[in-house]
Amino acid sequence: MSELTSNSNTKCLMANMTWKEVESTLSKNKTVIIPFGSTEEHGYHLPLSTDYFVAYELAKLVGKRIQVLVAPPICYGVCRRGASFPGTITISIDTLRTLTIDIITSLHSQGFRNIIILPGHLGSAQIIGLELACQELLIKHETLKIALIDLTKFLEKIPEGLIEERFGHAGEVETSLMLALDPKIVRMTDAISEKPIFPAHQIVRDSKKFMKSGVMGDAKIASIEKGTTILDLFVNEISKTILGIIED
């Protein structure tokens, strides 16, 4: 497990604070991280909570390191591809857009000025919903700064040869991250390799017909060691990004 991971309670978690504590923190720091995830299938071996769990744990580590607040995670997202798998709960792009606008508008009205959106679910429809919300908010509020963190950009900085797959779903990267964060909830004995092929150009109604497990990639080659390296990289890069926004 990474040296960064810790179950200790920190003063950065809004969910554990009183309103007076948040008010006191706001007088010194107007930055907040909002973890966005989803409740979605992640193969036979990872829990439905994977996306928001990873986003929240990353946010906690960053919040602790650079002393910024972390809002409670958003546990639902736009999950069209996995919608046919039992347990996946999907919302519409418009619902996500409206929810994001409402949450950030509320935080802005209280005095927050630097909003960091940290998505653990990176589906294209999810990102569209978040980007639409950000565009509307920036037009309405001149004192607001928003960052939409793209974790895939940081994957380009992973040391050569560490991982075989940089993209996928419930594959090498996600499984390694989960092993580093909490190996107890990963069923590695059920991990498989699956690389589904979808029809070219066609929008499919039921993706379950094309991928048996829900995995896109090779989960079997994941490891705690890989996850620790990726986790440390993510925390470092996210921290640098946020500090750059605060100091700008």
Distance CA 222, CA 188 (A): 9
Distance CA 229, CA 227 (A): 5
Q: What phi-psi label fits residue 21: left (phi over 0), alpha (psi between -120 and 50 degrees) or beta? A: alpha
Pick the CATH number of 14-161+232-247 from 3.40.50.10310, 3.40.630.40, 3.40.50.1980, 3.30.70.1520: 3.40.50.10310
Phi, psi for 59 (deg, rounded to 5) = -60, -40
Neighbours of 233 (CB within 10 A): 17
Distance CA 225, CA 144 (A): 38
> Per-residue pLDDT for the chain (248 aa), expressed as one digit of tens each?
444 444 444 689 999 999 999 999 999 999 999 999 999 999 999 999 999 999 999 999 999 999 999 999 999 999 998 999 999 999 999 999 999 999 999 999 999 999 999 999 999 999 999 999 999 999 999 999 999 999 999 998 998 899 999 889 999 999 999 999 999 999 999 999 999 999 999 888 888 899 999 999 999 999 999 999 999 999 999 999 999 999 98
Q: Flag whether the pTM goes above 0.85.
A: yes
Residues in the chain: 248
